Amino acid sequence: MEFDYIIVGAGSAGCILADRLSESGQHSVLLLEAGGADSSFWFKVPVGFTKTYYNPEYNYMYYSEPEAQLNNRQLYCPRGKVQGGSGSINAMIYVRGQPHDYDDWARAGNTGWGYRDVLPYFKKLESHWAGNTEYHGADGKIKISSMKEGAHAITGTFLEGARQAGFPITGDINGADYEGATIYDLNARNGERSSSSFEYLHPALSRKNLRVERNVTVRRVMFEGKRAIGVLTSRNGENGETLQFVARREVILSAGSVDTPKLMQLSGLGDKALLAKHNIPVVHELPAVGKNLQDHLCVSFYYRATVKTLNDELLSLVGKAKSGLRYLLSRKGPLSMSVNQSGGFFKGDANDAEPDLQLYFNPLSYRIPKSSKAQLEPEPYSGFLLCFNPTRPTSRGSIEIASDRVEDAAKIRINALTTEKDLHDVVQGSKLIRKIMSAPALRNITAEEISPGPDVKSDEAFLEYFRENSGSIYHLCGSCAMGPDASTSVVDDRLRVHGIESLRIVDASIFPNITSGNINAPTMMVAEKGAEMILEDHKADAAQASKPATLAVAA
């Protein structure tokens, strides 16, 4: 079967691409998804991510390799295995990052990717609570709400504590004043998740020129020489039906920061030594495939409160039932929003050029379960937590295939805390939390610090607490980085794979550097911009093809 465009992966980016490339009706589009449909009730409910966090039906449930600097722990790396991808199972915090993140993309040689270049695409995807402004759009498909109205009362105490500690307060972390404490925005409205699947793909499914194939695994990209011509797939597992799909124009990989480089390597694109190790013929050597992996690592400080918190509402069966009934009747209450309700961007040192730490203040304290059979449950006391992550870690990891079989998960090496800056930022973040928690407003609602506890106060002790307790907050990116040099990057600034015709990558793997915050919004922006580029290039190619041939006339 032939299509103009084949998109691999119906995640946050792939759903947008499928809509934008098919909306004119002029192009046939095939969207391939390894998971099933996002039809469960829990994909709509904001708190539903607790039901998919350890659910293999909807989640690949990847783990990193043992991390040497984190006491050889393997970090949990959930990835969405469902229509909508990780955007169907995340906590929906809507953060663009800071302007300098994108200016750094441009400074790395990526023309058209500075902050002022990408801002129109953020505005294009938004239906924002602030309306049409210099920084926001009101006519986009992703519905953005503020949690200010429904946030728990103690989030206001956090804001006051940050102010007392000398930090600014911002009403719009995605606008002009991105530094300071804030109540976070959410890609949800009226108590329902607003994912790219729900808002872009679902309305497009009735189009005759768009076909979606679910429960289909792409085994490799097919080539004629150095041109991508389609994909080889199997349905319902390794022994299922084998299918080939041909792309007349392009194959577009949107499988995410783990599975896009994995598929590239399985298809013969990557480091020559790695491919030889697994007896994979080299189609084109691209040593940067799978390199440059980045992530945000976070650690939580736990507190027992002197006031009621969400623990008191959600710990008992009666409390859960009341919250559930309230949600069903009004789409309001704690089930209608994220538990990550406030936080913001902060400078660890007042002399820093830009905020280098992100905080999350949760009016609920809970432990991440060690077992996949356990549930996310509140701590058995009135509690809250405050956590931090450095915004721009400089450690770099990798994604590598474990074998020549697509069924085997790739090896994820985050390679955390391998630079002096990252070690410094961990200490700075720990001290920042203690500084804010010492403010009068927060002291008044705190009975005690449960962990790490008051005895942990030296730089060495802060580092050891982070080594033993930190985890990924699931912002893996950068593993097929954009850049002008094919020896250090994978795609050019139009997202075309270096040295290969008719193959692009449009997902978070193209980030040259991680953005300062949650990466779902930047990923959707990349998809909006990428779709426009693909259509522009098609138009330019068609115009060139329609020009009459000219003959040279001898003098």
Torsions phi, psi for 298 (to 5 deg) = -130, 150
Task: Establish whether 424 is a catalytic residue.
Answer: no
Q: How many C-beta atoms lie closer than 10 Å to residue 13's C-beta?
A: 34
Please tell me what DSSP assigns to residue 190: T
* 217: Cβ contacts below 8 Å, ≥ 6 apart: 34, 233, 234, 235, 237, 406
DSSP for residue 281: P
Which one from 128, 136, 475, 498 is the annotated catalytic residue?
475
CA pair distance 480, 503, nearest whole angstrom = 13
Distance CA 421, CA 367 (A): 28
Residues whose CB is less than 8 angstroms from the CB of residue 79 and which lie 6 or more positions away in sequence, other chains included: 59, 60, 61, 62, 85, 86, 256, 258, 259, 474
DSSP one-letter string for 458-516: SHHHHHHHHHHH-EE-S--B-TT-B-S-TTT-SB-TT-BBTT-BTEEE-SGGG-SS--S
Q: Using an 8 Å Cβ cutoff, are 549 and 38 in contact? A: no
Q: Is residue 388 classed exposed, middle or buried when 0-12, 13-18 and 19+ CB atoms within 10 A define those classes?
A: buried
Phi then psi for residue 320, to 5 deg, are -65, -40
The one-letter code for the residue type at 130 is A
Q: Which residues are catalytic?
A: 475
